[in-house]
Amino acid sequence: MARIGINPTRGKVTAYRPARVTVAMLTYIPDLQGYFRHRLDVLKLALASLQAHTRTPHDLLVFDNGSCAPVVDFLREARDAGVVDYLLLSSRNLGKIGAFKVMFSAAPGEIIAYTDDDILFYPGWLAAHLEVLQAFPKVGMVSGVAVRDRAARASQTLQGLMDNPAPDLSITRQRRIPDDWEADWAVSVGRDPAEHLLATQGEQEIVLQQDGVEAFGTASHFQFVAPKEVIRQALPPDWSGKLMGEMVELDEAVDALGYLRLSTVGRYVRHLGNALSPQVVQDAEGMGLPVGAGLLPAVTRKHWLLRVPGAGRILRAVYDFIFRILYQGNL
């Protein structure tokens, strides 16, 4: 017998229609040790802030790039609870750009709101991004926070606009990014905040204003909102196999297509890094967001080994050797 009965869904129609915006989060936590020890706590806070502070209609797509079982179990629970609309699980790490190729093609919305899995979202973030996207001409990327050393540099497209501005467009150089935002960012990427502030003390940001809306003349590739057709065009045609990198090239590709890369002048997102600092915990609790245990201090003293001349170079080589054994399966 080839068939038993009739498929009960035959002739039925779903009421679901994709939202205009697909929020797309990329996750990769291969284990919960060493560098990744606190990453599940970070992911949980990122997802909680996204759920609590996104009022604009959207679908949430999560692409997991080969995470360990506890992370995948958490994501499945989030999907089953209705927090995640689409969950794509990869059996291997495709690399960041490789994951972009899959997830951006799968996203049903015409606008993609991309985020790494270590970003804290503040109330009104998506609406603020869309306002910038719609206020300025030919925008390809909008981020929710600007980084000063990038905001001081004009891209090719932005420079062309500065050379020939439209009558209703104002472009000025100002020092607008608060130092505490810069210090927070430096800590999240492992930089010394005092050294970062000293290195950027003389820089000014490029500020655009049109129709009462302001924006910084830069974007951050760890989080952005972009028209799907633009960001897909900017992706490289070939698969490089690189697990990380190629993000600056993505920025440059958006610029080469003639699109602006901008950021909101308010801080609507915050980069967390691989652990939750006490200040982040305090901010999250103040917003009523859940936070995990096992937190690292915002700034730690160097281990005594790193104070030995040449030790850092040797330890990095050992770390790279072990990483290739554990995660690449070869030497």
Contact 272, 188 (CB under 8 A): yes
What does the pLDDT look like over 33-82, one tens digit per residue?
Answer: 999 999 999 999 999 999 999 999 999 999 999 999 999 999 999 999 99
For residue 267, what are its two tokens?
A: 């801080």
CATH code of the region 21-286: 3.90.550.10
Structure tokens at 4: 């038993």
* Pairing outcome for strands 59-64 and 21-27: parallel
Residue with more model confidence, 5 or 45: 45
Answer whether residue 246 shows pLDDT above 80.
no
143: closest CA among 130, 124, 154, 156? 130
The conformation of residue 303, written as its DSSP 8-state character, comes to P
Residue 145 C-alpha from the chain's centroid: 11
* Cα–Cα distance for residue pair 147/128, rounded to 1 Å: 17
pLDDT at 224: 97
For residues 243-261, give the mean pLDDT. 88
Tell me which long-range contacts 295-298 makes (C-beta under 8 A, separation of at least 24).
295/38, 295/41, 296/38, 298/187
For residue 279, is pLDDT > 60? Answer: yes
Check whether 323 has a pLDDT greater than 70: no
Whether the predicted pLDDT of 2 surpasses 50: yes
Q: What percent of the chain has pLDDT over 70?
A: 92
pLDDT at 297: 39
pLDDT at residue 330 tops 70: no
pLDDT reading at 292 higher than 80: no
The per-residue pLDDT for 302 is: 56
- For 89-112, the pLDDT digits (tens) are 999 999 999 999 999 999 999 999
pLDDT band at 298 (very low <50, low <70, confident <90, very high): very low
Question: Between these two residues, 163 and 317, which has the higher pLDDT value?
Answer: 163
In 3D space, the residue among 317, 281, 322 whose CA is nearest the CA of residue 298 turns out to be: 281
* pLDDT band of 6, cuts 50, 70, 90: confident
Using pLDDT thresholds of 50, 70 and 90, give the confidence band for residue 295: very low
Question: How far is residue 65's CA from residue 45's CA, in Å, rounded to a whole number?
Answer: 19
In the predicted structure, residue 245 carries a pLDDT above the cut 70: no
Q: What is the DSSP string of 44-80?
A: HHHHHHHHHH--S--EEEEEE-S--HHHHHHHHHHHH
Task: For 127-174, write each residue's pLDDT tens digit.
Answer: 999 999 999 989 999 999 998 877 677 788 888 888 887 888 999 999
Average pLDDT of every residue of the chain = 88
DSSP state of 295: P
**Predicted confidence (pLDDT) at residue 7 exceeds the cutoff of 70:** yes
Identify residue 302 by its one-letter amino acid code.
K
Residue with tokens 């000063």: 148
Statement: residue 294 has pLDDT above 50: no
Lowest mean pLDDT among 112-116, 187-191, 225-229: 187-191
Amino acid in position 14: T
What pLDDT band is residue 11 in, cutting at 50, 70 and 90? confident
- 331: pLDDT strictly greater than 70: no
pLDDT above 90: residue 318: no
Backbone angles phi, psi at 68, to 5 degrees: -75, 170
